Each structure stands twice: as structure tokens, then as C-alpha cells.
Structure 1
Amino acid sequence: MNKLPKGLWPVMITPFTTSNHIDLEGLESLTNMYLEAGANGMFANCLSSEMYQLTSEERLFLTSNVVKLCEDKVPVVATGTFSRDITTNSEFIKKIYDTGVDAVILITSLLVEPDENEDILKARLEQIMAETGNIPLGVYECPVPYKRLLSPAIMQWMASTERFIYHKDTSCNSLSLAKKASAVEGTNFGVYNADTSTALDSLDSGSRGISPISANFYPEPYSYLLKEYFTNGRTKELNRLHAFLTMMDRVTHSFYPYAAKLFLQKRGLKIETNTRIPTETLTNVDNIRINALMDSFKALAEMYDFKLVL
């Protein structure tokens, strides 16, 4: 199994039409925006994609179209587990892999119940591996249905199987990230941090990249941060940019993913704000915060002279 590239891996949102069908034109515009902004890979059919609100057919349709749009440009990974039944998961893993993705992602909290230990998790991972041939795999500590974090020990075992190449970490803890990165050091199993606040710490300790939801609002500063880090290390200026992004990140988590679609629409991307996840109406204060986020983003672009793709 080859290593996946370092850098920015957006957790892609899904554009819907006004009738709540997948919007292919919007998906193409969105994917091209990520690519132009410097994304190094794509995570399609994830929580940000409203994956639990899609049918199995829609998950395959969405993923296959992202793969086509990213062909010969960047690799794509996508979720393949939506059941607590291992054989059902294994069958869908094969289907999602047939779309052309580079790895199929397993949701940790769907493989074991909250009170089941890692020995049970390991046994179920072994069963999935036995039922899915040589398909490259990844794992995602998805917070839905509940957040199931992995230990460094089981990650070390997973790396030793040579089947796992992507891990989306949601621990939001610098020490935990460092231990996990150390456990898989020297292998093809890469750690990709979902959290903005610990982004630079995680890169310092060996994570291969980041997958924050705020990159669905403004991927450009994240791409800039990663390129600068991998070129010059953790400079004073980079710490300053990271501080701004950390503060801005507090706004992006409200009304998500609706707010991301609204923000992109305000930026000029031709997509609707429709979501399949019920969203409360934004208050006057919420709209002021979204507008302030836009002003902050544009100010960062001037300060750091990175190109806006929209």
C-alpha cells in the first residue's frame, strides 16, 4: 500500500439542488475549488457530506463522481461502513472501492459499541480485512453515532497489517496525536488531524496532514499554512496565522454544514444552501458572525498574500 500525500484533505460537503437531490454541477464547482485552493486529497462521503442522510445508491453516486473529477489530480478516500453487521459492511466496502477510491474508510464507532473493548474491535477489523481482499483501508473517529477514539497500541497493530493508510483523528489533543503518530512512524499509515487548534502541534509530532471542517469555508489559508510548514517549519509568522485560524474556527462549527454552504455561496460559488440536516434559522447575531468571518478571511488573504480561488 502506498502512502497518501501529505497536506490538506478536505472533508467534502455535498451540494444539493433546491429539491434536495445531489447537485452534480455544484459538486464539480466545489471539487474544482478545493483543487484550485491546493487540496492534496479528498475525503468524500464523510460526515460533512451528510453521509448518514444519503441512500446507499447516493453514496456510490457521489463518490464515483468525485473520483472522476479528481482523476489524475489527487487521491480520494470515502466511507464504507454504515452498519453494525460486519458482512454488510464488507459488501459495501467492495462497492465503494469499485468507484475508484484509493482507500475505504471505516467508522470506528460503528464497529464496536461504547462498552466493547479494543480486543473486540481488533477481531472485527480482522474479519473485515479477511472479507475485503487487499482493499486499502482507513479509519475515522467519527463523532456520530458516538466518538470512539483509538489507542496508539491498536493503531500500531493496524499499521503492521499493511492494510491501513489513512486515519482521521478527532481526539483534539496534542499529546494523543503525538502518541498515535509515534505508534505508526515509519509505516504507510498516515495520521490526518481534524482539529484546527492542534494542527501545528500534530504536524510537529508527525501527522501527515489535516482535515478540518473550516477548510470547507476557506481552504486557501490551510493550504498556505501546510505548504509553509513543510517548506520552512514552524515559524513565528506561521504561529500567528494558526492563531487567527484557531479563533475563526469557533464560528464555523455553528449551523454546520449549512453555514459552510452559505459562506461559499457568499464567496461566489454557485451552490444552494440546502442540507438534509435540519437547521435552525440564523439570528441577526449569527449573520453578523458569518460576515465577520468573511472579513477575517479576506484580511488574512491580504496579510499573507495567498490567492483567493473565488
Structure 2
Amino acid sequence: MKKLYGVITAMTTPFTADNKVDVAALEAQTEYLIQKGVQCLYPCGTTGEMYLMSAEERELVAETVVKKAAGRVTVFIHVGAMDQDETIRLAQHAQKIGADGVGVVTPSYFTVDEKAMVEYYKTVCAALPEDFPVYVYVIPQLAHNDVSAETMEKIAAACKNVVGVKYSFADMRRINDYLHVRGGNFSVVPGADDLFLPCLACGCDGVVSGCSGPFPEAFVNVYKAFQSGDLAAARKAQVEATKLVKVMQFGGDMSIFKNILTFRGVPGGHMRKPLMDLDEADVAKLKETVAPYL
């Protein structure tokens, strides 16, 4: 089964001024990222404002990215939803349109215990072919529910097609624990952009990075240098990548991503309410700040 690796860009979703998914802008973003050398694309996640879209819109985004990528890079669709049936619908749709796999965020907002967590992934995975890969997406600071390494071991034992975890909390101890799930045969991809190189050194397969959307080059350089064994170059590249992560406020405001994409010639589009676009003064300040990197 395919796995995520290298620079896995968590894509933004561009919306038009009248609040529609901007398909042309999404196609342009997909092509831009491929040309810049990222290894994988990950649309419809947190960076993609997934919970603010309808199931139909999420299917449109998935179809657009998969079709435009045309097999040139690995594409995993994030399909986790507030409703289990919708999660299954989106996962089955991703498999049907030819995505390489899916990510599924933990149940959100309402507290679930270990039994419910394991049962959730068993049910979602049972609705998919056994050879269609699934990543558990753990982001406790937003989804409320966490998954310990012990619980992840139970999920992995119960679900043959769970190949790994996307872990978006900056806890190196937990990352190391996840690396030992299933006897070490478990893919771990962090979401902390500034920990890319340290996580690669620990054995992680890559990084799911929102900050690599506007500035993919810095992250591609980290991965290339690490893969070639040039740790000095990898460290230097990580320093540059981390500078950009700080400029982009660690991905806390996707409007920053969208505006930088626009600065670079890729239409970033608008945010979806209740999230807000940057105002004109903030856009001007951001452009001045990132001008040396454009």
C-alpha cells in the first residue's frame, strides 16, 4: 500500500468572492506545487478548511486535485467529517476517483473513549478495500480527542489498511512512540513544519506541511539534502524553512497562505466565513515582510 512521504503539502481551498470553490485556482495551485517538487498533496484537511465545506464541495476539491495531478504525485484526500456516515461517503468517493489514500481525523468536539475511537476507525476502514491506505489524523489541540500510542496500536491491529498517523502536535516523545507501533512498520508524518528535519532523523517519512504551500522550495530542499545524506545542507535548509514558518505564524491563519500564493502568481482566493480575509493594511504589511523570499 502507498504511503505518504517527503514534502506532503496540506493544500488550501481557494474560494471565489461569491463563496464558491475556485476550481481554476485550485488547478493552478496543484500544478504549482507539482512543478516546485513536492512529493505528495493533501487537500481537504485543516488547512483546506474542511469543516466549512459541504460534502459535495469536498468531493469537488478531491476530484479537481486528483484529475489535475494525473498520477504525477501521490494524492491523499483528507475525509474526516463531524458525522461518521459522511466520513465513509467521502472516503469511498476518494477511493472511487483514484486517490492514493485518505486521512481521517479523529472524532471531534465530543469526547470519545478508547473503545469508541477504535470502533470508529474499524467502521470507516471496513467500508474501504483492505488495500486502500488510511492515515489516522491526530490533532488534539483542535479536534479535542487524542490518540495514545497504546490506542494507536489497537487501531493498527484492528485495521489492516491503517498504514500510519499524521500527528499535528509538536511532541517528539509521542512521535517516537508512534514510530514503534506495529513493530516499527508504521508510517509517521508530523504536522509541525519546523520539526521536519528532526522528525526525519528519528525515522518519520515526511511532513504534512501547510507552510510548504506558499513556499515549497525550502521544504523540498530539506528533504533532498536529507535523502542525499548531506546533513549540513539539510540543517541549513531547515533553518530557512523555519524562518518562513515563523513568518507565516506557524500556519495559524490560512489567509496568510492564500495571500502569499497570490503574491507568487497563484490565485489564493478568499477565506470562508467565519474565517476572515486579511484587510488591506495587513496584506500590505505581509507583502513587505515576505518580499525577500518571493
Classify the TM-score, shorter chain: 0.7 to 0.9
Q: Post-superposition shift, 1:46?
A: 1.2
Amino acid at match of 2:178: K
Deviation at 1:145, TM superposition (A): 5.0
Deviation at 1:285, TM superposition (A): 6.7
Q: 1:18 to 1:100 in 2, by over 3 A?
A: same
Provide the rounded CA distance (Å) in 2 between the counterparts of 1:284 and 1:45: 29
State the identity as a percent: 19
The amino acid across from 2:180 in the alignment is S
| Equivalent residue in structure 2 for 1:239, among 235, 242, 256 | 235
Q: TM-score of the superposition, structure 2-length normalised?
A: 0.88
CA shift, 1:165, in A, is 2.5
- C-alpha change, 1:240 and 1:184, in structure 2 (3 Å) is farther
Equivalent of 1:262 in 259, 262, 268 = 259
> Could you tell me which residue of structure 2 aligns to residue 132 of structure 1?
128
Contact 1:170 1:195 in 2 (8 A): yes
Letter in 2 for 1:119: K
**1:109–1:145 contact (8 Å) kept in structure 2:** no
- Determine the C-alpha separation between the residues in 1 that align with 2:247 and 2:123: 41
Query: 1:162 Cα shift?
Result: 2.5
Gaps of 5+ in 1: 299-310
Amino acid at match of 2:165: H
- Which 4+ residue blocks in structure 1 deviate beyond 6 angstroms? none
Tell me the SS of whatever aligns to 1:197.
helix
d(CA) in 1 for partners of 2:86 and 2:269? 33
Count matched residues: 290
Q: Structure 1 residues 166, 67: closer, same or farther in 2, change over 3 A?
A: farther
Q: Pairwise mapping of residues 106-121 of structure 1 onto structure 2 (< 5 A)?
A: 106-110=104-108, 113-114=110-111, 116-121=112-117
Give the counterpart letter for 1:9 in structure 2: I
1:241-272 CA deviation, whole Å, 9 max, x = no partner? 32232233123137721111111111122x15
Q: Which amino acid aligns with 1:123?
A: E
- Bigger drift between 33-42 and 162-171 goes to 162-171
* 217-226 vs 90-99, which moves further: 90-99
SS of equivalent to 1:216: coil
Structure 2 CA distance, aligned partners of 1:159 and 1:94? 20
| Separation of aligned partners in 1, 2:76 and 2:164 | 8
Name the residue aligned to 1:58. Answer: 57
In structure 2, the partner of 1:94 is 92
- Pick closer, same or farther for the CA change 1:248–1:147 going to 2, 3 Å: farther
Asked if the contact 1:200/1:234 (under 8 Å) is kept, the reply is no
Structure 2 Cα separation of the partners of residues 285 and 31 of structure 1 = 26
Q: What runs of 5+ residues in structure 2 fail to find an aligned partner?
A: none
Corresponding residue for residue 80 of structure 1: 79
C-alpha distance in 2 between matches for 1:198 and 1:184 = 23
In the alignment, the residues of structure 2 paired with residue 105 and residue 182 of structure 1 have an alpha-carbon distance, to the nearest angstrom, of: 20
Structure 1 CA distance, aligned partners of 2:252 and 2:125? 37
Query: Shift of residue 13 of structure 1?
Result: 0.8
Q: Distance in 2 between matches of 1:119 and 1:148?
A: 13
Letter in 2 for 1:122: V
Q: Distance in 2 between matches of 1:193 and 1:258?
A: 22
Contact 2:55 2:86 (8 Å CA) reproduced: no
CA distance in 1, matches of 2:121, 2:63: 25
The TM-score with structure 1 as length reference comes to 0.84
Shift of 1:144: 7.5
Q: Deviations over 1:51-103 (max 9, x none)?
A: 1121111111110111111122112111223134x344323422232222111
Query: Where do residues 204-283 of structure 1 align in structure 2 (5 Å cutoff)?
Result: 204-235=201-232, 237-253=233-249, 256-269=253-266, 271-277=267-273, 278-279=275-276, 281-282=278-279
Report what 2:46 is aligned to.
47
Aligned AA (1:273): G
Tell me how large the CA RMSD over aligned residues is.
2.5
1:186–1:173 distance in 2 versus 1, CA, 3 Å: closer
Instruction: Please say if residues 149 and 170 of structure 1, whose CA atoms lie closer than 8 Å, have aligned partners that are also in contact.
Output: no
Does the 8 Å contact 1:9/1:40 carry over to 2? yes
Show the counterpart of 1:302. Answer: none
- Return the alpha-carbon distance in structure 1 between the equivalents of residues 125 and 190 of structure 2: 24
Q: Which moved more, 1:8-17 or 1:18-27?
A: 18-27
